[in-house]
Amino acid sequence: MIAGPQPFERIDLHAHSHWSDGTLGPEELVALARTRGVQLLALTDHDTMAGCEAAATACAAAGIGFLYGSELTSLWRGREIHVVGLRLDPHSASLAAHLAGVRAQRAERIRAIGLKLDARGLPGADIAAAVLARPGTPTRLHVARELVRRGHATDEDDAFQRWLGKGQPAAVAAAWPGVAASVAAINTAGGAAVLAHPHRYRLSAGALRELCGEFLAAGGLGLEVSLPGMGIGDASRAAALARRYGLAGSCGSDFHVPGIPWRPLGRFAKLPEGIVPITERLGLEPAPGTLRASQAPAAE
């Protein structure tokens, strides 16, 4: 048999650390990726690259390929859409300015949520202050955790249903940058823009096609076609969109916390028929001698 370039067996191009709403530090995340046999990892915290340097160092030591990444909060036709940037230049001043702008909007939103909680007799100002005091991107998930910790919700989901979710007393909308602006910010940093989790937007099939068309026209490169939580129908719809628009296929776990068996870090990079892997578009190959999934322990 002739040995050609080996495809990746296990990659994860969508994962969070405590620099946004994950719970592990970048080094802990990489340690977990190593035990799961991940050969290529991207850290894609919401609107920040703060954890990427530490993750890159840890990946280099572990023999794991690493891509600087971030998940950019964006708006399209009034809906929140997430655009993952991969292989970003950490020194891009324009991307850094874009991300800092979104984090400032997020901080403003957390303060507004605090005011709304105050109006309902909850310690909203204290909660907002606690969320904004921690390093990293502030998110509603941190507010939810504070609400749970202080006994105002039974769990995070309850906090969203009772207070933070759409139509609830502390819901606050935000005017995030448009999808095209996020793609442009990623492209100016030399990165590849990937439309995240298309199955979660509750868009009609027609609207999703229009989103993909505009994303492609704006300079988008890929679409997430394989994520935990995608049903067979979701996956085949995502694959059809990728084929129709010539978008490369990306996959990742959208990992936030360990111990959730249905959302483990590390995915088999087996993409549907006819989909070009984003790794191929980026010209990536596994480094010789990297840990292979078959050698790795299965447990988290």
Q: Which residues bind ligand AMP (CB under 6 A)?
A: 21, 46, 139-141, 156-157, 160, 256
User: Residue 112 or residue 293: which is nearer to ligand AMP going by CB?
Assistant: 112
Give me the least distance between CB of 33 and Mn ion, in Å please: 16
In angstroms, the CA 182 to CA 194 distance is 10
224 in contact with Mn ion (CB under 5 A): no
106 in contact with Mn ion (CB under 5 A): no
Tell me which H or E stretch contains 85.
Answer: strand 79-86
Alpha-carbon Rg for the chain in angstroms: 19
Instruction: Report the SS3 class of residue 117.
Output: helix
Could you tell which of ligand AMP, Mn ion, none binds residue 17, using a CB distance below 5 to 8 A set by kind? Answer: none
In angstroms, the CA 18 to CA 247 distance is 30
In angstroms, the CA 223 to CA 53 distance is 25
Could you tell which of Mn ion, ligand AMP, none binds residue 242, using a CB distance below 5 to 8 A set by kind? Answer: none
- Measured CA to CA in angstroms, residue 279 lies from 8, 115, 129, 192, 264 at distances of 8, 45, 41, 10, 21
User: Residue 230 or residue 296: which is nearer to Mn ion going by CB?
Assistant: 230
Give me the least distance between CB of 254 and ligand AMP, in Å please: 8
Tell me which H or E stretch contains 72.
Answer: strand 65-76
Q: Which of 74, 57, 51 is nearest to 194 (CA)?
A: 74
- Which residues between 7 and 46 bind Mn ion (CB under 5 A)? 21
CB of 194 closer than 8 Å to CB of 252: no
Could you tell which of Mn ion, ligand AMP, none binds residue 254, using a CB distance below 5 to 8 A set by kind? Answer: Mn ion
Phi, psi of 282 (to 5 degrees): -90, 0
Could you tell which of Mn ion, ligand AMP, none binds residue 160, using a CB distance below 5 to 8 A set by kind? Answer: ligand AMP
Could you tell which of Mn ion, ligand AMP, none binds residue 82, using a CB distance below 5 to 8 A set by kind? Answer: Mn ion
Could you identify the residue written with the tokens 């964006």?
74
User: Residue 23 or residue 57: which is nearer to ligand AMP going by CB?
Assistant: 23
Give me the least distance between CB of 113 and ligand AMP, in Å please: 9
User: Residue 73 or residue 290: which is nearer to ligand AMP going by CB?
Assistant: 73
Residue 39, C-beta contacts closer than 8 angstroms, at least 6 positions apart: 8, 9, 10, 11, 64, 65, 286, 287, 290, 291, 292, 293
Give me the least distance between CB of 136 and Mn ion, in Å please: 12
82 in contact with Mn ion (CB under 5 A): yes
Could you tell which of ligand AMP, Mn ion, none binds residue 156, using a CB distance below 5 to 8 A set by kind? Answer: ligand AMP
Give me the least distance between CB of 83 and Mn ion, in Å please: 9
User: Residue 46 or residue 116: which is nearer to ligand AMP going by CB?
Assistant: 46
User: Residue 12 or residue 254: which is nearer to Mn ion going by CB?
Assistant: 254
Name the site residues for Mn ion (rule: CB under 5 A): 21, 71, 82, 196, 254
